[in-house]
Structure 1
């Protein structure tokens, strides 16, 4: 009887061991991000995180309820604070350009999260409502009307996320070298008569153009193309503003 009474406290102590070791939601998220940085997310699991932290998998559930919830926290941590400083009067283009560059720099630091950014539920849940509010405020200050705000906002978010996702999203580490070699050979062996423009520009486009590349953004960044892309988007928005202003004068 006495042995049973002594065993109960020991069992209870083991149940609290994860917390006693200093485990926290922050440590769980940091460990998960480090694992994804190192190995990608395709085969990522809560069990991997537990193993990395030296605890039982059940300990992780003190802090996150599922893999998806943890991935949301990982993206939030990876992106960090994206919001530029206060908006200078009349400088909405500069503010948006800085937002785009902050986003790209954040993903460049953690490129293995890029595929997750295309997952609507996870990327939506990880987006800071403070950032959404700041983007809406910037667009209204630029002169866009409430009736068209949703369309302009969607343009801005697509511009911010779309290019960067394509630039940095890669595939898993398994068989990477073999896959890249096969893709490179495929392009190098294209028939010049059938694809005269592509083959003539292959030297310029190889690993510098979407579709015609076998290295991700971590190996061959596309910063100049990104800058051109941003200018095209912002020029288009500015022309819409000017057109709306002219229409109101008539």
Structure 2
């Protein structure tokens, strides 16, 4: 009688760490952080908890891995032109992160949590490296690399996170309706106390979040190169 072939290699492949992280991201996207439990994962993956614990020790590790996977994919964006300038490469990184945070509503919070909890871990250095290399390529003096890269990273993550938060908290069924209601409220403010806010209310009404993000990015980059010119 022939010996029975073990099925463990097939199970191991089906329940790889990558597959578990993929399922965790799906759960985070659909149910939020509170919905990410090992019980929900076992149901989604049709397996037992032991198979998951073999690859991931706990929920914190799973959240860190999911965050890392999304960021790695976002940073893999490359400009279509291989001779793209450092500025264009910074745009690609920034838009990759902006779109990732916009698509995965839990990501902004986890980025802040992960970098605060473990600043020496892989996440912060990976973001710093992706942006810092291009800051260097812009000709910014080495003494200003840390400050310039920090300011750039803080803008990208802060603005992208705020955009995602605004999108989630809007009570109107569409973004234009939400912006219109806010702009109208601004226009009705006291003209003596809020002359500037009233003046820009119509710009708020018609703005595109992505274009505004890129305009802000250019302001930051222009400031960096103006304050720290090459050479």
Normalising by structure 2, report the TM-score.
0.71
Deviation at 1:149, TM superposition (A): 1.6
1:145 aligns with 2:141: yes
Aligned equivalents of 1:201, 1:45: Cα separation in 2: 45
* Corresponding residue for residue 167 of structure 1: 163
Root-mean-square deviation (CA), in Å? 3.8
The question of 1:25 aligning with 2:17 is answered yes
2:171 alignment counterpart: 180
- How far did 1:146 drift? 2.5
Residue equivalent to 2:3: none
Q: In the TM superposition, what whole-angstrom CA distance separates every residue of 1:72-125 from its partner, at most 9, and x where no partner exists?
A: 111222231514369748x22222122111221233332332322222346854
Greater mean deviation of Cα atoms: 108-117 or 58-67: 108-117
Give how far 1:133 is off: 3.2
Structure 2 counterpart of 1:94 = 88
**After superposition, what is the alpha-carbon deviation per residue over 1:42-98, rounded to whole angstroms, capped at 9, x for unaligned?**
442222212221223333211111111111111222231514369748x22222122
- Structure 1 counterpart of 2:75: 82
1:149 to 1:199, Cα distance in 2 relative to 1, 3 A:
closer
Give the deviation of 1:30 after TM superposition: 0.8
Q: Give the TM-score normalised by structure 1.
A: 0.66
Determine which of 99, 107, 110 is the counterpart of 2:104. Answer: 110
SS in 2 for 1:111: coil
The unaligned stretches of length 5 or more in structure 1 are 1-12, 209-220, 246-250
Q: Give 3-state SS (helix, strand or coil) of 1:93's partner.
A: helix
Shift of 1:20: 6.1
1:236 aligns with 2:229: no
**Partner of 1:118: helix, strand, or coil?**
helix
